[in-house]
Chains A and B, each alone.
Chain A
Amino acid sequence: MSFVSWHDLAPMLPEIFVLCMASLILLADAFIAEGHRFITYAATQVTLLGAVLLTAQGAHGETVTAFHGLFIEDPVADVLKLMLYVSISAMLVYSKSYLQVRGLFRGEFFVLVLFAALGMMIMISAGNFLALYLGLELQALCLYALVALSRDSAVATEAALKYFVLGALASGLLLYGMSMVYGVTGHLDLSGISAVLAHGVKDPTVLVFGLVFLVAGLAFKLGVVPFHMWVPDVYQGAPTAMTLFIGTAPKIAAFGFVIRLLVGGLQPLAHDWSGMLVILSVLSIAIGNITAIAQSNIKRMLAYSTISHMGFVLLGFLSGNLQGYGAAMFYVLVYVLMSLGAFGMVMLLSRQGFEAEHLDDFKGLNQRSPWYAFLMLVVMFSMAGIPPTAGFYAKLAVLSSALDAGYVGLVVAAVLFSVVGAFYYLRIVKLMYFDAPSDPSACGAHADVGVLMSANGLAVLALGIFPQPLMALCTYSIWHSL
């Protein structure tokens, strides 16, 4: 028996491909002159395209494990990874000119993005504590470096440092929790843990302690209250392109991580962790929405809005059943789409030496560019959960599953706080439509950004009118994976 067989390698092809390409780009970029950097850009996009093809070609609608359970490839992983590639690719398009004018359009950026993507892919597909942790750390280290990429910016460096310190703390918590669970169950792979837990353990004290650490670590990574302190600072301090990246793809990966850890491994303890998630979820929705009102910086406002959205995602996990996980998955995917649109618009409005990160920079956008104002309007109403936009169905699905699980009070609270949330999204709409612009010049964008932004905004609207395909995809993948 050979040590490595094709059966082990086949499900991992996308990861292997991304790893090889990232290394290749790292080497090749050293020989590319500053003026030809678009080659690196194109190579990165090609890598993502190749990963899309490999993942799509390998998706058979069934669960395949490789390397003795270290690696899992199932429909959930396929869908999440595809969305991951799309979001990263869109992020690259949106941030291209933003990075160019700020001197950040460098080879390191692309290499770090690709390695981060690899880490996320491993998080989504890990079947073992160690693989999960490795994926997480690979992703996190790349993200810290990306935030700090703007070397001479004091805010960015501060943000990176905060991100690193708190991220390292969270990783420590996770690792500690994992060690306790390992101590109780004697297993590192999730299916083994699940099997042991299903039979019950003699002394659950250490287990519950471990669970608390695991949930706290997860909460840090997701950025939910009370482990959310880093989110606004990092979102605001990082260059907007990095904010866009942090705000989208890692959320998909974090969702995959939660699914693997809590559902794949610790489902027998669902009763214990759902109690903790209730608190995290309601606090996030409340504090995220209330604090967002007070912000005048749009990146900070969107950071608090992210916190509340993550609270809604957790609502989907409370029911502890497949329908709820499907709803949470739908929510995450829709959230990523909206987030891309919102941050993309912030970058579109930014120019050389000017960051459109104050709310007032959106003033009178309707007079400057009605089409972009309309797209932003759709995205904002979607975030507020107003039909006919995709955000409404995302909220509907998670609320429905939480109500199904009997959390009536929680649902009513979530609903009341989304009225609070509607206020600050409305404020952006108000600025764009009701106020006069301070700078009446029309805002132009490169054709590729314009097309992508239109597709992005219209997708949010189209998913609001016909949510069935994506919803069915989420339900299907969850049902065929878990």
Chain B
Amino acid sequence: MMASTPWLSLAIWVPILFGVLVLATGSDRNARLARWLALVGAAAGFLASIPLYTQFDVHTAGMQFTELHPWIEALHVNYHLGVDGISVLFILLTSFTTVVVVAAGWKVIERRVAQYMAAFLIMSGLMNGVFASLDAILFYVFWEAMLIPMFLVIGVWGGPNRVYAAVKFFLYTLLGSLLMLVAFIYLYQRSGGSFDILDYQQLPLGLQAQVLIFLAFFMAFAVKVPMWPVHTWLPDAHVEAPTGGSVVLAAIMLKLGAYGFLRFCLPIAPDASHLLSGFMIALSLIAVVYIGLVALVQGDMKKLIAYSSISHMGFVTLGIFLFNRFGTEGALVQMISHGFVSGALFLCVGVLYDRLHSRQINDYGGVVNRMPLFATLFMLFAMANSGLPATSGFVGEFMVIMGSMKVNFWYSAAAATTLIFGAAYTLWMYKRVIFGKITNPRVEGLSDLSTREFLILGSLAVVVLAMGVYPLPFTEVMHSSVANLLSHVAQSKLKGA
């Protein structure tokens, strides 16, 4: 079906266009204009992505809102966009997060405002492009281009060790991506000159080829997720990035890796996926358990949340490689939920950091006495992060544990430890920061949330609660596509290879 309005193109290009406009406002003398223009751009991008949900047909598994135009004929590359139940929610998440990030950087960023805002707007469009691309080269272009603004955001507005973190972030991801590019070129030649992802999904491949392709994709996506043991860039990047950068990293960029597994690894190399599922599950469980323990001992709040993200993403990869409905849908729900929860947690840390310029847990204590409103909202997000029922964090984790129970009891037993560890590290941090006596005299001078901060965190709180109490609007979108994916993965591709 050719949609009459190219909503996907709008969701991609409106933020990018506004980003360029914001850049054009130039120096910091026009900072006010840059901020407002950025907010309008982010809001316009979000509005453009809403029809993707409201007009989405939940009964078909195929691609919707497709757009297909020839782009580089010499290489048979097309501008081919489309979304299914797996990707559509991420576009909404991205566009929503961009609004949040622009608002969150409103007062905090005073240096080179236009460039900061523009980087996030452009990044938002590029990330939407990743989720919407159905052409491998188009996907790759968005995937790589997105690194450039993130690199600059970490490096220009980041903390003291920002250069190291930015370069590490860039090179880690580039290494993985380039191997993925080699896999794309190989598939291009095997498929007789097509870069269409949907063609690849139908392409019969021998087991050896599948394993190699799987590993190439694995390098790209595992770094992005990040899976243990290639996760080490994430704590560095998170700690050094400005709040907005951390939010985008945690809420969206990590999801790109998991999305890649669902869109590429499983359908293109199903036999290799089955063959290596034990390996993937093992890595996921190590992430869940071991990284959970690592999070427990962190003294830096951002680092703690970063490790908690890795642990939660372990849940996602676990769910993906269970190959059953609960696992896959649980992983998707967990991804969306984690997008909101981790974003909110980083914003909470940002709120504290803006006031005290410290991320160390030890510098705080007794914050509730001065910031009761903040303490309440922070409590909600901490609970959601530990997977308390009636928050969004519970739904995904519960579904994944159910799914793993069907496959192997011990998988679910190991995975369920996260409910303990997650509660332990999150709530222990919360206790040390929020409760207790005020030991640091600077905490005495804290002021509670401003209206702007309250609106940002409040809107996230509403979503987190809504998703936890009534997840159906989120899950019904993905049913058909997940069922289709699972039936596709169940079929061997070896025949005819």
Contacts and interface: CB of A to CB of B under 8 A. Distances in A.
Contacts of A392: 141, 144
Interface string B162-186: 1100110011001100110110011
A433 B144 contact: no
Contacts of A339: none
Nearest to A411: B182
A20 interface: no
A396 B75 contact: yes
Counting chain A residues whose Cβ lies within 8 A of the other chain, the interface size class is 20 to 34
B2 interface: no
Given A397-B75, A430-B155, A430-B163, A387 B141 contact: yes
A443 B144 CA distance: 31
B163 A387 contact: no
Contacts of B112: 366
A471 B171 contact: no
Q: Which of A388, A418, A430, A475 has the most CB of B within 10 A?
A: A430
A388 B163 CA distance: 23
A472 interface: yes
B182 A468 contact: no
B299 to A, nearest CB: 27
Contacts of B362: none
Contact of A418 (B73, B166, B178, B189): B178
A430 B182 CA distance: 28
A38 interface: no
Contacts of B188: 400
Interface in A70-125: none
B155 A419 contact: no
B72 interface: yes
A392 B145 CA distance: 11
Counting chain B residues whose Cβ lies within 8 A of the other chain, the interface size class is 35 or more
Nearest to B72: A468
A325 interface: no
A56 interface: no
Interface in B157-216: 162-163, 166-167, 170-171, 174-175, 178-179, 181-182, 185-186, 188-189
B200 to A, nearest CB: 16
Contacts of A418: 178
Interface string B127-156: 000000000010011001101100110011
A377 B188 CA distance: 30
B189 A386 contact: no
B409 interface: no
Contacts of B174: 386, 419, 422
Contacts of B182: 399, 403, 411-412, 415
Q: Is the interface of A mostly helix, strand, loop or mixed?
A: helix
Contacts of A381: 148
A433 B156 contact: yes
B279 interface: no
A419 B147 CA distance: 14
B115 interface: yes
Nearest to A399: B185
A463 to B, nearest CB: 11
A393 B77 CA distance: 11
Contacts of A9: none
B470 interface: no
Contact of B73 (A377, A426, A472): A472
A403 B145 contact: no
Given A423-B171, A433-B156, A388 B141 contact: yes
B170 A422 contact: yes
Nearest to A402: B185
Interface string A371-399: 00000010001000011100011001101
Interface in B112-132: 112, 115
A422 B167 CA distance: 10
Nearest to A412: B182
B71 interface: yes
B137 A471 contact: no
Contact of B148 (A386, A400, A411, A471): A386
A307 to B, nearest CB: 20
Contacts of A472: 73-74
A467 interface: yes
Interface string A266-280: 000000000000000
A386 B144 CA distance: 6
A471 B185 contact: no
Contacts of B167: 423, 426, 430
Contacts of B72: 393, 467-468, 471
Contacts of A209: none
B189 A475 contact: no
Nearest to B126: A388
A327 to B, nearest CB: 10
A13 B170 CA distance: 51
A67 interface: no
B36 to A, nearest CB: 20
A397 B181 CA distance: 12
* Nearest 8 interchain pairs by C-beta: A387-B141, A471-B74, A415-B178, A434-B155, A419-B175, A468-B72, A387-B144, A400-B185
29 contacts: A366-B112, A366-B156, A377-B148, A386-B174, A392-B141, A396-B75, A396-B181, A400-B75, A400-B185, A403-B182, A403-B185, A412-B179, A412-B182, A422-B171, A423-B171, A426-B151, A426-B167, A429-B151, A429-B152, A430-B155, A430-B163, A430-B167, A434-B155, A434-B162, A434-B166, A467-B72, A467-B74, A468-B74, A475-B74
Interface of B: 26, 71-75, 112, 115, 137, 140-141, 144-145, 147-148, 151-152, 155-156, 162-163, 166-167, 170-171, 174-175, 178-179, 181-182, 185-186, 188-189
Given A386-B145, A419-B171, 20 more contacts: A381-B148, A386-B144, A387-B145, A393-B75, A397-B75, A403-B182, A403-B186, A404-B189, A415-B179, A415-B181, A415-B182, A416-B175, A423-B167, A426-B151, A426-B171, A429-B151, A430-B167, A433-B152, A467-B74, A471-B72
Interface of A: 366, 370, 377, 381, 386-388, 392-393, 396-397, 399-400, 403-404, 408, 411-412, 415-416, 418-419, 422-423, 426, 429-430, 433-434, 467-468, 471-472, 475
